[in-house]
Amino acid sequence: MQPVTLLQLKTLPSYKKNLSKLIEALNKAPKSAIIVAPELYLTGFDYDNIEEACSFSEEAIATLQKLLTTQTLVLTLFRKVDNNIVNQAAVIHNRTVVHKQNKHKLFKLGNEHHHFNAGNGEDIALFEINGIKFGLLICFELRFKELWQKLEGADIICIPSQWGEPRKRHLEILGNALAVMNQCFVLVCNSADETMAKSSAIYSPMGGTTLNDASEKIEHSIDLQEIKLMRRYISLS
């Protein structure tokens, strides 16, 4: 069984307090857990302090790399890449950033395109940790069916999000549908900020749901054998 922890947290104004809360959660999570934090949890969309946010991201990654050995952490951060500002997902395991992926589909309703450079869609691809095939989408990217196809064959798809409360039902429907369509586990980790939908959830290949809007942590152990059973039961190839 694979332990999973979704951190359904509010982002505080203090970057350092957010990092401290994240580290506290890591220390309490199982040693082999897959842990997902909300999109830009450490800083929020702090467009007024982009340089400071980028600088703090570098400090945070260095700190987290020292702490993460057998655990796997998925989060996104402000990063500066070739003088461009991007919203970058980082997957940290065994003291290493094992996967990086810049947000490709920017949410224009939130003016993200005015502050971030879009990532390359070709970077949305499967990656592997300890024999588990992972995929990753960042928030708004969940809406694009062509991106679902890029992640066919994944065992687990992680979706760090800052998804607004007015579209709460969309997040739940799409996350569940992706799990059923791609016959995999989908880990949606959304922010608990006042205007956000929460709805962080673990969706199974059979459509089962583990969701708790009242909790800061959604913890569950998933059985990866369920993926093989589902794909054998209903073959899509």
CATH number of the domain bearing residue 113: 3.60.110.10
Helix (H) or strand (E) holding 12: none
d(CA 28, CA 157): 23
For the record, the structure tokens of 77 come out as 């951060």
Is the pLDDT reported for residue 235 higher than 90?
Answer: no
Query: What per-residue confidence (pLDDT) applies to 237?
Result: 67
- Confidence band for 159, pLDDT divided at 50, 70 and 90: very high
Residue 112 CB neighbours (<10 A): 18
pLDDT at 9: 98
Overall number of domains in the chain = 1
Report the C-alpha gap between 69 and 234 in whole angstroms. 36
Host domain of residue 6 = 2-233
* Residue 117: pLDDT over 70: yes
pLDDT in tens, 27-83: 999 999 999 999 999 999 999 999 999 999 999 999 999 999 999 999 999 999 999
